[in-house]
Structure 1
Amino acid sequence: MRCTRVALYDIKTGSFDEVVGQAKSGMVPLFKESQGFVSYGVAQVEKNAFVSISTWETRAQADTAAAKAAEWVKANSRDRFTLRANYVGDLAIDTSHREPVPTAR
């Protein structure tokens, strides 16, 4: 069963657009290189807060991603934003997951 990680961050300095730039150059490559990666997104939810949402093939891979994200934030962005809450859970509904379409022969 696929699993998702949702992390809520508070922006301490700078803007959401700057956070997006950092995510594109840092988190996107980090996650894309990780085993089990399915998808990643970032959304602003308050003036000074945003969520990071990633989907993984397994819970273990989502947990590993949470640890990698924490390391990356600590090394690259802890002065700009901090983790408020982190959630990892199994997806009950995943409309992006599609079964392969059989090919005609």
Structure 2
Amino acid sequence: MRCTRVALYDITTGTFDEVVSEAKSGMVPLFKDSNGFVSYGVAQIEKDAFVSISTWETREQADAAAAKAADWVKANSRNRFTLRDNYVGDLAIDTGHREPAPTAM
């Protein structure tokens, strides 16, 4: 079953646009090169807060992504943002996942 990781971050210095730029150059390649990667997104939810949402093929891969993300944030955030909460859960509904269409014979 696919799994989603949702992480809530607080911006401590700088802007959301700066965080997005850092995520594009750092977190995106890190996740894309990870086993089980399906998708990743970042959304501003408050003036000084954002959420990171990633989807993985398994819970183990989502948990591994949480550890990779924590290491990346510690090494690269330059104290611009900090993790407030992290959640990992099985997807009950995944409308973004499309099964291949049957082949006509």
In structure 2, what is the Cα distance between the partners aligned to 1:99 and 1:80? 40
Match of 2:53 in 1: 53
In structure 2, what is the Cα distance between the partners aligned to 1:4 and 1:80? 24
Matched residue type, 2:33: E
**3-state DSSP class of the match of 1:22?**
helix
**Structure 1: 5+ residue stretches without partners:** none
In structure 2, what is the Cα distance between the partners aligned to 1:52 and 1:11? 13
How far the C-alpha of 1:101 sits from its partner, in A, is 1.1
In structure 2, what is the Cα distance between the partners aligned to 1:68 and 1:78? 16
Q: Deviations over 1:12-43 (max 9, x none)?
A: 00000000000000000000000000000000
In structure 1, what is the Cα distance between the partners aligned to 2:103 and 2:93? 26
Q: Deviations over 1:53-92 (max 9, x none)?
A: 0000000000000000000000000511000000000001
Match of 1:19 in 2: 19
Match of 1:97 in 2: 97
**Aligned 1:1-105 pairs, distance under 5 A:** 1-105=1-105
In structure 2, what is the Cα distance between the partners aligned to 1:64 and 1:78? 22
Q: TM-score, normalised by structure 1?
A: 0.97
In structure 1, what is the Cα distance between the partners aligned to 2:57 and 2:47? 32
In structure 2, what is the Cα distance between the partners aligned to 1:16 and 1:79? 13
Query: How much identity, in percent, do the aligned residues show?
Result: 85
**Structure 2: 5+ residue stretches without partners:** none
How far the C-alpha of 1:104 sits from its partner, in A, is 3.0
In structure 1, what is the Cα distance between the partners aligned to 2:24 and 2:104? 38
How far the C-alpha of 1:102 sits from its partner, in A, is 2.1
